Amino acid sequence: MKISREAQRNARKLFDASLVEGRIDSAKTLKVAEIIIASKPRHFFQILKEFTRLTRLELNRHAAVIESALPLDTASQEFITQALKLRDPQAEVTTFTNASLLGGTRIRLGSDVWDGTILARLENIRNLSSNSTEAAKDFVAPVLEASSSSCTLNFCAPSTPPPSSASASFKTGFKE
């Protein structure tokens, strides 16, 4: 069921009213939800559904999860936490161990994910090998630049300029 514009507008106003200094206040949020249920305004179920969605999105936006294959030492954990706090001062950081990652660390802040795990690298390799010919064509696009007596073969990703370090030059041996 689609939520009406009026319900979206009302839910947004109520959501904004439940914030204290830009942060969700659990007591105010609960009170607003109770008022919506008790007063039963027009489209109250849609308003409550949208209010819940907005609250969930705001909570998830500031949720940070540090997931590692082995327990992190306190220095590493503090370093990552401080880096996350620089990006989002309101971040609520949670750390836990997940042995299925095989090694490395996965960090999630809101919808941003930094995945430096061995499991992710293995999955990338598996994805490359499953469609190896297509992946090879897309991954390496040779560009041949010819001049009077030499050629330069550049390997670069499609639609990106070739970096100077990724080119190989050779003499053709032909004279004009």
- Report yes or no on whether pTM surpasses 0.75: no
Q: What are phi and psi of 6, to 5 degrees?
A: -65, -45
Mean per-residue pLDDT, 22-46: 91
Per-residue pLDDT reduced to its tens digit, 54-110: 999 999 999 999 999 999 999 999 999 999 999 999 899 999 999 999 999 999 999
SS3 131: coil
Residue 175 is predicted with a pLDDT of: 47
Integer CA distances (angstroms), 10 to 13, 32, 87, 93, in order: 5, 12, 31, 31
Pairwise CA distance, residues 12 & 24, whole Å: 13
